[in-house]
Amino acid sequence: MFACFPALDKSRYLCRASRYLLIGALLPILLSPPGALAAEKISSLLVIGDSLAAGYGLPATETFTTRLEAALTRSGAQVRVINAGVSGDTSAGGRARIAWSLAAKPDAVLIELGANDGMRGLEPAATKANLDGILSQIKRAGAEVLLTGMLAPPNLGREYGAEFAAIFPALARRHGVLFYPFFLEGVAANPELNQADRIHPNAAGVDIIVERLLPKVKELLQRVQNKRERGG
């Protein structure tokens, strides 16, 4: 490992100097507490969802997951965001593929599902059962979770809307996971922040979603770091 050059004068000093240089480079690592070493590891964040996560109608540089990773990186976080969004997906579709999605062994998972369930007027009890199954599988895999809520379209009636909206906070409490009440907060129903279909956010809308969600996502990643420092 250490190169010495006998043919050169004062070679023993060169050899000794190379040792000192290497030891000096290693000391900060060797003396770092376990928590500091854990903090240097890049975390992986899986985003499982529908077209809102997939980035429907947007170039790759403007999708939610791309913008979220960029915002986290700017804030100093070392994280890789994995886009597991599938356009048109319901909670049943998410449940059917969650085991495959978890094969990537993410440190954390952000769940963005339910919009298509609400738009189709699916039975809230079925949506709740599907999301419950997804949360259970993620918890068994040992990943930290952030569940985002969704609202049903107003044309489905107040009773349906209230029952649907109640699914998400109830599940967050049951599983003890982080919760963000409404994924489209500040963006839904605003023509300036949505594409022509008035359903999917445009680039400006995505930026607002990311900005509002960022504190919760950073809290999620802090939970990952805390677990590492505890040796979990």
The catalytically annotated residue of 43, 51, 91, 101 is: 51
Contacting residues for 102 by C-beta, under 8 A, at least 6 apart = 46, 109, 137, 138, 141, 143
**Strand, helix or coil for residue 202:** coil
175 is known as an active-site residue = no
Does residue 197 have an active-site annotation?
A: yes
Catalytic residue at 32?
Answer: no
d(CA 127, CA 59): 30
Alpha-carbon distance values, 219 to 48, 118, 200, 223 (Å): 18, 28, 26, 6
Are the CB atoms for 120 and 90 separated by under 8 Å? yes
**Residues assigned a catalytic role:** 51, 197, 200
